[in-house]
Structure 1
């Protein structure tokens, strides 16, 4: 029997999805301020970008660590800690007038990125089986939904009020999310137990930091520094993998992660994350470029937000569709269908760039594909890992998406910086090339997903798990590798 929840299952789903959207808002809330950050924070343009980079770094580092802690000590507990850090970071940002405290505040906000995979894992443990597919699809899509819906709201505040109000608003939403989680969402009794892998956490954090610094700051720091960071990252991550395979209680169980279904899902997620970010790089710039260029649409940041907001609504609407397709045909088919829709959206985008309605349509098609694919990823992951490792596995999948989007941002930035007109503005050919690369990455994700094991999900179940497996049990220790063999849903 599923664990009894404090509120109705619909309320638990709504509250966890709301918490995910609040966290996702942190990714876009600063976008309207980017041109003004040097002036607002009394910093150079290069230094001011740390207000964006800090969130990226801490989010990437925290996500797998928080996932493992959630498996060990309670997913709801770690979810609340993540939201509390978001609130604290928002308060610091709201009181900041210079770069240093702003970077601290944004770093704390980034530490909350683990809330989304934790929410998915809580759902697996506490919801009835017949509600799980659509609930996890919605929670997974909240990352894109929050980003899309947050942009117009942030632009409105930035244009009409003191920019500090953005942070006060974020703090208010964070407090509300905490209160709702405390009131309605129960703590899962499913625990992985064991000891925390401090060495593994430090190694992964250092390796990821070097990788993401090379990706996000490489253009500013030059080729030698970037190469050094990439080389250091490769060495550190190699040593980290060696350690994880030899320690008894690893931060990330690489043997489980190497299973075909988990490995291919994570690879497809990274490539898909690379592809989906092209829209975010191209459309806002195209919308804001002056009409004198011949292809810019001359809209304000608020206009950009309103143009892209429908894509977030479409993502949300596609979540139950994703769950239905996964039940009928399996999450592999859903992931491939979503990537195909995204590729089609980019194909349309290459041709349709001359009017607002065209960009609304293109972004909505891409949003529909993202909603489908994001809903399938947690189903694929959770059907192939032990129940005591759910949060860690979902967190790793979220991390892979984030790495893909970070690399995409860097690649698109280099392309647009090199394909410019006489005024130094990106050319239409540059925008089309980025969109084409995004579509190509989505096709690569389809090719990777084609090698996933095929599963058809019986109605009312998560792939690979019978309803009877949803007992609220406390796992005292992580299963040994020999005990993990033959997990349901692992079709080798």
Structure 2
């Protein structure tokens, strides 16, 4: 493999660039969920409590939420290639630190470093928008987005395999290896930026946004344990809202604002972020309900399959794999129908799959087939979101805007996790088993978020006049017109 110039896209039409970014995004997406099926193993291996072990997930979530918008902004201003390389280096260090951890404190610290990797997703979208020919851009964005969903699903399977057959440390050895491979490929094949955004770092905006996200996400993460009506949870929620209100006030007065408030008041942008939030919320109903049902022993309730961690993950494999071809199809569907129909259709399929699971989920084939329907819808939704963002914002704000969209999805994931945990905890059945009605409730909640996503989809797109971008040749929006 020969080195290439960093200021040129690699291969025909930037194929090398696309390969490097797909590998980097897959590595992040896989490790996002790989620890979920191994939490009990980690708890035992590190001699800690369930409440403390939960910080393995919480620390990663909080770090991702705080760092992603900042790193996206740094990429827009100082070069996406530079920031991607730095993020992958930190990510590899965090993975190596986790593999070598001797106690829960060290592992949680390593997970904080790993949280920086979420920024790879919006940065990858920004690189693609600048580096690839316009005719390949929808396909590339759909592929990268599909890999995000497929990697998250695959993480549940890989985590189960490693947890069942090897030491928990191999979870992070695998992550470190993927990070190092991604770092090498990015160094070889990700081109230098052609355009850099003006302005400096919005430190007040970064601090206020980070503080708001930490307060809200911490309240959501600890709500089931502390109690939703406890002073600590309510205080954190109020603090989060106040900090966000202060953020809006500060950002209105800044020319180099981290968040363009006018973008948030624009209906298509607001609905696009809402769609990401709803998608994140609904996804975690499946991530928690399906493996829990599969692993539960029928016992006196007759609910569950008594499957191993590995088998429970394999039941979701078809749905995880369906995400990639669905995401890749977004480009053609968008060209033929416009971006509104892929996102509306994606949420419609998620809703349909949720209804099917709510109606029947006591056979393994139902989990496989019905979740595959959800997987196809997932691929369409996450594949078209970057396209919607690209149609709204100028090229130099692509990384920042996609970063905020990923944060909306992250907050939605936290909400979905908290709601699902509360529903599961409220279930009562003999011998501590979860009753069938609890799973049915979770699938109906997923149905509700899917239906809300359909409504948001029809408000997320507006017909615009377009002009060719002077740098990449890609089409980008200018003045809004009438509703399509």
Cα displacement (A) at 1:276: 2.3
Runs of 4+ in 1 over 4 A off after TM superposition: 463-466, 488-492
Query: Counterparts in 2 of 1:342-491, with a 5 A limit?
Result: 342-455=350-463, 465-466=466-467, 468-469=468-469, 471=471, 487=478
Aligned to 1:229: 236
Find the aligned partners of 2:466 and 2:181 in 1 and give their Cα distance: 34
Q: 1:384–1:489: 8 Å Cα contact kept in structure 2? A: no
Find the aligned partners of 1:38 and 1:118 in 2 and give their Cα distance: 34
Q: 1:342–1:366: 8 Å Cα contact kept in structure 2? A: yes
For 2:288, what is the secondary structure of its paired residue? helix
Query: Counterparts in 2 of 1:128-167, with a 5 A limit?
Result: 128-167=133-172
Aligned to 1:289: 296
For 1:487, what is the secondary structure of its paired residue? strand
Q: 1:276–1:342: 8 Å Cα contact kept in structure 2? A: no
* Aligned mate of 2:306, from 290, 298, 304: 298
- How many pairs align? 471
Cα displacement (A) at 1:254: 1.3
Find the aligned partners of 2:167 and 2:482 in 1 and give their Cα distance: 55
Find the aligned partners of 2:126 and 2:360 in 1 and give their Cα distance: 39
Q: Provide, for residues 435-482 of structure 1, a one-character-per-residue CA deviation record: whole Å limited to 9, x for no partner.
A: 001111111111122223344xxxxxxx8654x415259xxxxxxxxx
* Aligned mate of 1:15, from 20, 23, 36: 20
Q: Provide, for residues 368-420 of structure 1, a one-character-per-residue CA deviation record: whole Å limited to 9, x for no partner.
A: 00101111111111111111101001111111111111101100110111022
Aligned to 1:5: 9
Q: 1:465–1:489: 8 Å Cα contact kept in structure 2? A: no
Query: Counterparts in 2 of 1:314-333, with a 5 A limit?
Result: 314-333=322-341
Find the aligned partners of 2:465 and 2:77 in 1 and give their Cα distance: 23
Find the aligned partners of 2:173 and 2:188 in 1 and give their Cα distance: 23
Find the aligned partners of 1:152 and 1:412 in 2 and give their Cα distance: 20
Q: Provide, for residues 249-300 of structure 1, a one-character-per-residue CA deviation record: whole Å limited to 9, x for no partner.
A: 1111111232121111111221222122211111000000002231201110
* Aligned mate of 1:78, from 77, 83, 106: 83
1:87 aligns with 2:92: yes
For 2:461, what is the secondary structure of its paired residue? coil
Task: From the superposition, tell whether residues 69 and 464 of structure 1 become closer, same or farther in structure 2 (CA, over 3 Å).
Answer: farther
Find the aligned partners of 2:303 and 2:50 in 1 and give their Cα distance: 27
Cα displacement (A) at 1:190: 1.8
Aligned to 2:45: 40
Find the aligned partners of 2:440 and 2:472 in 1 and give their Cα distance: 51
Aligned to 2:112: 107
For 2:469, what is the secondary structure of its paired residue? helix
User: 144-153 or 360-369, which moves further after superposition?
Assistant: 144-153
Q: Provide, for residues 18-57 of structure 1, a one-character-per-residue CA deviation record: whole Å limited to 9, x for no partner.
A: 2111011222121122123332222222111111110000
Task: From the superposition, tell whether residues 310 and 38 of structure 1 become closer, same or farther in structure 2 (CA, over 3 Å).
Answer: same
Q: 2:293–2:303: 8 Å Cα contact kept in structure 1? A: yes
Find the aligned partners of 1:235 and 1:206 in 2 and give their Cα distance: 10
Find the aligned partners of 1:142 and 1:318 in 2 and give their Cα distance: 10
Cα displacement (A) at 1:488: 5.2
Find the aligned partners of 1:48 and 1:276 in 2 and give their Cα distance: 22
Find the aligned partners of 2:343 and 2:479 in 1 and give their Cα distance: 20
Cα displacement (A) at 1:327: 0.9
Aligned to 2:179: 174
User: 248-257 or 389-398, which moves further after superposition?
Assistant: 248-257
Aligned to 2:208: 203
Q: Provide, for residues 100-159 of structure 1, a one-character-per-residue CA deviation record: whole Å limited to 9, x for no partner.
A: 110011111111111011101100000001100011111122221111112222221222
Query: Structure 1 length normalisation: TM-score?
Result: 0.92
Aligned to 2:3: none
Task: From the superposition, tell whether residues 236 and 180 of structure 1 become closer, same or farther in structure 2 (CA, over 3 Å).
Answer: same
Find the aligned partners of 1:140 and 1:74 in 2 and give their Cα distance: 22
Find the aligned partners of 1:74 and 1:295 in 2 and give their Cα distance: 53
User: Which runs of no fewer than 5 residues in structure 2 stay unpaired?
Assistant: 1-6
Cα displacement (A) at 1:425: 2.1
Task: From the superposition, tell whether residues 243 and 87 of structure 1 become closer, same or farther in structure 2 (CA, over 3 Å).
Answer: same
Q: 1:384–1:464: 8 Å Cα contact kept in structure 2? A: no
Q: Provide, for residues 70-101 of structure 1, a one-character-per-residue CA deviation record: whole Å limited to 9, x for no partner.
A: 11011121111111111010011011120111
Query: Structure 2 length normalisation: TM-score?
Result: 0.94
Find the aligned partners of 1:401 and 1:414 in 2 and give their Cα distance: 20
